[in-house]
Amino acid sequence: MRIYLASRSPRRRELLTQIGIAFDTVLFRDGERADPETDETPLPGEPALTYVERVARAKAEHGGRIIGWRKLPPRPVLSADTTLEFDGEIIGKPLDAADATAILRRLSGRTHRVLTGVAVNHLGRTEFMLSSSEVRFRELSGEEIRHYVMSGEPMDKAGAYGIQGRAGVFVEYLSGSYTGVMGLPVCETGELLKRLGFSSF
């Protein structure tokens, strides 16, 4: 099987390759010319669960439209969205180094929830699954946070950290899906593709 991946994330590409799924990438415009259909700004008062489902579905469906416009072979379009929920608040990617530092200080010594929504659009039908994981950080020193932020690793990641990178040493406890915290829960991804009649096995 071969699918389209509607994501720029190198981690999602690595995970699809790991489970034997071949893919081509569908890229959305970003910056000032960003596609409004894939805007990741939370709506006022929007719960985190609603947010990840809305964004993941929107990306998959917009990817499906792009495939149609370009007259590419019809294949499933897979997308995902990851966010953190902490004290009832949605925490996305940091705006800058100061924001990353502030986020990591808040997460230090506390438990947060990582939500990753996965959506697959194929022939006008969209299926969705959610991965929910609990992660607890040990107490982080100011020096540890400073060095981690200086590495640049937090800047393109929800919650200002990547569990598969240097921040792995911050994680004291994890309940749920390690690959879900990375950004693409492989169990749920496989289940979604099976629902549509596809399998990597």
Which residues are the active-site residues? Answer: 81
Are residues 55 and 92 in contact, defined by beta-carbon separation less than 8 angstroms? no
> DSSP string spanning 22-86?
EEEE-PPP-GGG--GGG--PPPTT--HHHHHHHHHHHHHHHHHHHHHHTTPPP--EEEEEEEEEE
Rounded distance between C-alpha atoms, residue 191 and residue 60, angstroms: 16
Strand duo 171-175 + 125-137: pairing: antiparallel
Are residues 20 and 200 in contact, defined by beta-carbon separation less than 8 angstroms? yes
Structure tokens at 100: 């990353």
Strand duo 77-86 + 2-5: pairing: parallel
Residue 92 dihedral angles phi and psi, to the nearest 5°: -100, -145
